[in-house]
Amino acid sequence: MLSRAQKRLQREYEEMTKSYGEMFQVRIKDDSMMLWEVSFIGAQGTVFAGEPFTLQFKFDSNYPIESPEVIFLGRYPEHEHVYSNGYICLSILYDEWSPSMRVSSVVLSIQSMLSSATHKSRPKNDAQFSSYANGRSPKSFNWIFEDEKC
């Protein structure tokens, strides 16, 4: 029997493949549906145009009450809100999460964040944070969001 989280994820998966199949590719990585990879290409006319990216979504049994853990895998965009370990500083992944949000809305928000960049750069504390965060969940940190900086 599927849990409430699994039922919700199954509905979201069906919606995403139907409505966003041209925009991104969704892969379920385990039988429980609790680990996803979502791939997309950087939007034309942006500093990330044509670049491929993959997000990993880890869900727990409290989804959608609690946000998923979302990180970039493989090739990380050089963006002032993306650390070189793939962690993303974006308020909707933490403090501003709402159960009404969906995987598709998170992906679209991250695509929008990347599309609004005017240049490529890492966060100022990237090296220090990335080494400190090694092996820890991004959700275990107390992120501070102020003036569009992390």
pLDDT tens per residue, range 73-117: 999 999 999 999 999 999 999 999 999 999 999 999 999 999 999
Give me the mean pLDDT over the 112-123 stretch.
96
Interatomic CA distance for residues 5 and 61, integer angstroms: 6
The contacts found for 68-76 with CB under 8 angstroms, 24 or more apart, are 68/93, 68/103, 68/106, 69/137, 69/138, 69/139, 70/106, 70/110, 70/138, 71/138, 73/37, 75/51
What CATH code is carried by the domain that includes residue 51?
Answer: 3.10.110.10
- Closest Cα to residue 23, out of 8, 47, 44, 7? 44
Enzyme catalytic residues: 89
User: Mean pLDDT, the chain, as a whole number?
Assistant: 93
Residues 144, 89: contact at Cβ < 8 Å? no
pTM: 0.93
For residue 150, is it within any domain?
Answer: no
For residue 84, is it within any domain?
Answer: yes
Total structural domains in the chain?
A: 1
For residue 113, is it within any domain?
Answer: yes
- Residue ranges in 3-99 assigned as alpha helix (H): 4-19
Residue range(s) defining the domain that contains residue 69: 4-134
Q: What is the phi/psi pair of residue 20, to 5°?
A: -125, 20
**What b/e string do you get for 110-145 counting C-beta neighbours within 10 Å, with b at 16 or more?**
bbebbeebeeeebbeebeebbeebeeeebbeeeeee
Residues 114, 48: contact at Cβ < 8 Å? yes
Residue 147 has pLDDT above 60, yes or no: no
For 1, residues 6+ apart whose C-beta sits below 8 A from its C-beta are none
For residue 66, is it within any domain?
Answer: yes
